[in-house]
C-alpha cells in the first residue's frame, strides 16, 4: 500500500528593522520579494512570536534598506526592488498607478481613479491607497485630496508631510 500525504509548505517570511529618519520601519520579505513595510513594530510582533516571521537580514532586505537610506538622503527617486503586495486585482492596479506618480509630484484620488480607467471610483482608490502594504516604495504619500489637502496616511500625517517635503526639497 502506497501512502501519500500532501504537506503544507511553510513559506518563510523575514523581517529586518530600519531606523529611518521618520522612525522605525519594518521591511518584510517573502519568497524573494518585498511584501510589507510597517511603521514602528506594528502588529508583526505576533507573527514573530508564532514563528511565521523571522528577524533576519537577507540580501534583499539589506538592499531595500540601502535604497531607503538613499531615498531619505534625497539621492534616490525610483526604487528598484521586487515587490509582491497582496490585494485584490483593483488594489494592485491602483498601487501600480501610484508607482507611476513622479518623484516630488502629487496626484488626487480622482487623478488615480482616472489613471486606472474608473473615473468615479475615487473612494475605492482611497481605500486601496489606505491598504497599501508597502508605503514609501509604493508612494501612497503622493496622493492628496481633490482640494490639495493632506488626508490620512498609515504612518500619520506628520510622516506624510515629511516625505512630501523631502521630495520637494530634493527636486529643487
Catalytic residue positions, numbered: 140
- In the numeric block, which cell numbers belong to residue 89? 486585482
Handedness of CA 125, 40, 54, 81 (dihedral sign): positive
- In the numeric block, which cell numbers belong to residue 39? 511603521
Task: Round to whole Å and give the CA distance between 71 and 101.
Answer: 15
Angle between helices 122-130 and 89-99 (to 10 degrees): 80
Closest CA to 136 of 158, 94, 164: 164
Amino acid at each position: 500500500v502506497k501512502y501519500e500525504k500532501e504537506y503544507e509548505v511553510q513559506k518563510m517570511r523575514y523581517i529586518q528593522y530600519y531606523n529611518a529618519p521618520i522612525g522605525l520601519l519594518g521591511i518584510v520579505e517573502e519568497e524573494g520579494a518585498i511584501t510589507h513595510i510597517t511603521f514602528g513594530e506594528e502588529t508583526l510582533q505576533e507573527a514573530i512570536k508564532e514563528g511565521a516571521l523571522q528577524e533576519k537580514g537577507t540580501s534583499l532586505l539589506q538592499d531595500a534598506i540601502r535604497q531607503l537610506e538613499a531615498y531619505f538622503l534625497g539621492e534616490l527617486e525610483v526604487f528598484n526592488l521586487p515587490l509582491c503586495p497582496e490585494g485584490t486585482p483593483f488594489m494592485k492596479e491602483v498601487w501600480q498607478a501610484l508607482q507611476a506618480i513622479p518623484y516630488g509630484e502629487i496626484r488626487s484620488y480622482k487623478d488615480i481613479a482616472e489613471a486606472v480607467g474608473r473615473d468615479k471610483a475615487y473612494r475605492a482608490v482611497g481605500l486601496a491607497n489606505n491598504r497599501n502594504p508597502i508605503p514609501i516604495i509604493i508612494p501612497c504619500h503622493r496622493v492628496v485630496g481633490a482640494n490639495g489637502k493632506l488626508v490620512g496616511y498609515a504612518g500619520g500625517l506628520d510622516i506624510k508631510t515629511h516625505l512630501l517635503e523631502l521630495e520637494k526639497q530634493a527636486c529643487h
